[in-house]
A and B are shown apart, each in its own frame.
Chain A
């Protein structure tokens, strides 16, 4: 239909409205319709790549044994980033002057490699690396067919990666990919498996006086102004706008039994929560 403003509209509550108008946008999150939780009983477990996979057999095999046990009890989406190989390709790319959107595109290959490594180790349980092109749409099918799936958790931002405030390293890496996925699919929990017990006041690998922080809100972590974090900084921003996933837990994968306890909902590492 043609209207007074000479544009064509379809009848909807957004017709004739600007999607750039905050007053209109507020109406799009209706209190009476909670966001659909597509996979409410699924755990998202991110296996750290620099912290776990790159350590090889001594770290990975015990963790895989625990994962095999966990798959009898839970449905799990596993994933990993690119680790040392991504850092290397970043360093070569940075030296060549390549922009953030190119670095993001190139680093996906390292994460894909690690996903296939985990897929090989978990193949006997029917858990394989699912190609990213079909992962999102077919995830509910896969996860109802087999107890788990693996994906490369670098989100598909590629050339469209956001330029970061500092430097050129892509801000949406594998931690972000798994947390955003968990939010979209409304999963039970998101667990980041690293090689430290959780968040410390300083990097515990370099400082004996580092103090463990069992839980903190996003704002508290920001206020601490820590030089390094055991998770990607962008997760603090993502927490602020999440509607379903209001926390994530960092767990030490060198103590694999802790991962199993975290999947049961226990607090065994550091829990970072959204502000309330």
Chain B
């Protein structure tokens, strides 16, 4: 077979070579990366931190998001939260494999996405499942926002965690990967704390706020507890597009708008 007329240089070598050859695959990053949705912002609404608090926390946040329709294109992911913890604790006790735990977490994240969707429905904002992502650009152009469930669709193919049995790739990771693959301009996590602390501020009154940090510094600090899933940090180290994330306190009015406008209102974690 004569490939040389039809294929690029790297194409020819890929066809002949082995995809496990690092020298060969390193060349696959040489081409300019396409920025698929560079004007969009991915926003993750926390499960336990926001949605489980109900009306008092959720309604002001949704109102603020609605006020920003037309000014920003928002891909809004939902966390899971309390019911996922319950399912994970029952699942751990019954010896469920991690892949099954992942399915359980997906269901809870989907419940939250559907609830947020009905609250935003009058503004014409759709909820999309992973198979509907090809329609995402249309919805963003027409309605400026979509809701999706934050869990990545790994289900039974979720890899085991290093420690314990809770799926390591949850809604923080699923939302982050959307910001990476579509090269979105911002990844904003709406939680109920001002950002990253040296320890869980809900339990340790001496925990110190960290306004900005690099991924490597954060990994080196080896904190017992961090504000985003550790897998997000690992993904960021390899990322081509989404190299900075912000964690903000959604319970403080105005924070979301300011973060959408590119202001620093919480903790920025970035690749150094």
Contact = CB atoms under 8 A, between A and B. Distances in A.
B157 A91 contact: no
B194 interface: no
Interface string B99-111: 1100100000000
Interface residues of A, number: 84
Interface in B52-93: 52-54, 82-83, 85-86, 88-90, 92-93
Interface in A181-214: 181, 183-186, 203
Contacts of B164: 22, 24-29
B97 A38 contact: yes
- Contact-size category for B: 35 or more
Central interface residue in A84, A95, A161, by most chain B CB within 10 Å: A95
A94 B15 CA distance: 13
B97 A30 contact: no
B75 to A, nearest CB: 11
A132 B82 CA distance: 30
Contacts of B28: 90, 94, 167-169
A224 interface: no
Q: Is the interface of A mostly helix, strand, loop or mixed?
A: loop
Contacts of A7: 48-49, 52-53, 192
B265 interface: no
Nearest to B136: A159
Interface stretch (A62-70, A116-124, A230-238, A256-264): A230-238
A94 B238 contact: no
A227 B22 contact: yes
B21 A97 contact: no
Interface string A233-253: 100001011111000000000
Interface in A38-86: 38, 84
Interface stretch (A8-16, A142-150, A265-273): A8-16
Given A17-B85, A95-B31, A157 B154 contact: yes
Given A18-B225, A20-B226, A155-B154, A169 B19 contact: yes
A228 B18 contact: yes
10 contacts: A25-B165, A33-B94, A95-B11, A99-B183, A158-B153, A162-B177, A183-B97, A184-B158, A227-B23, A238-B160
Interface of A: 5-15, 17-30, 33-36, 38, 84, 87-88, 90-92, 94-102, 136, 155-169, 172-173, 177, 180-181, 183-186, 203, 227-233, 238, 240-244
Given A36-B96, A90-B19, A156-B157, 10 more contacts: A19-B166, A22-B224, A29-B165, A35-B95, A91-B8, A97-B33, A158-B130, A165-B238, A184-B98, A230-B20
